[in-house]
Amino acid sequence: MSALAGRTAIVTGASRGIGRGIAERLATDGALVAVHYGSNEKAALETVEIIEGRGGRAFAFRAELGAPDAVDTFYAALDAGLAERGAAREFDILVNNAAASGSGRIHQLTTEVFDRLFAINVKAPLFLVQRGLDRLRDGGRIVNISSAATKHAFPDSVTYAMTKGAVDTMTLALAKELGPRGITVNAVAPGYIATDMNARRRATPEASAALAAMSVFNRIGTPADVADVVGFLVSDDARWITGQYVDATGGTAL
């Protein structure tokens, strides 16, 4: 029997990149996966098509996490998608992956970008958890996607790094709060992964080589490298792990 058979998983920002990789992994393990996206419907439907093409189950739903009514829109769209498939409104796994980046260095900051990054990267996951607590089943799993930028200086995007630091702190607090219900809460921190988000950093062969050299494996990570870590954390095998920052950087800067 598949490790996640009979379970429902939500992955935010699952239309591309790490989020798509996570959605594919959880579906392969047997979960019904709710593929959240903010704007790129075509990419989200591609994620669903990939999953279904491999015999998995998934559906896409939209909610702009930076909007004032983000949480209401999110759960209304989720409920509609679950109802269409005759599934219960309760779920077992929430992966807070969606994030915005690109704040720039300290002298480049604007209040508009600052507010947007904190709205999407911090406010949205916190209130998605709050609103979902009455439907997240006991023994459930929450995984927050953090970043290596919280452990290494990252002046190129100081606000982004700050938001991920807040995610790490939220992870600790939620793990303590939800432990009595058997719910684990962990953070997974990718390093440089080959996604659209950091494509500009891989614009030349020399730049790609420099990023690869930061890992002890001398390569840039893939979404599957992160997704497999998440797959473990949401499984029963990880029932005794909570409140942890899991480094998934390929040994960056050791």
Residue 95 and residue 224: Cα distance in Å, rounded? Answer: 15
Catalytic residue chosen out of the listed positions 75, 160, 192, 245: 160
The continuous run of DSSP H or E covering 180 comes out as none
Residues 6+ positions from 53 with CB-CB distance below 8 Å: none
Token representation of residue 68? 């004032």
Q: How many residues does this entry show for the chain?
A: 254
Q: Residue 190 corresponds to which tokens in the numbers above?
A: 């990718």
Give the H or E element holding residue 4: none
Tokens of 176: 């303590």
Work out the burial of residue 204: count CB atoms within 10 Å of its CB; fewer than 13 is exposed, 13-18 middle, 19 or more buried.
Answer: exposed
Active site includes 75? no
Residues designated as active site: 160
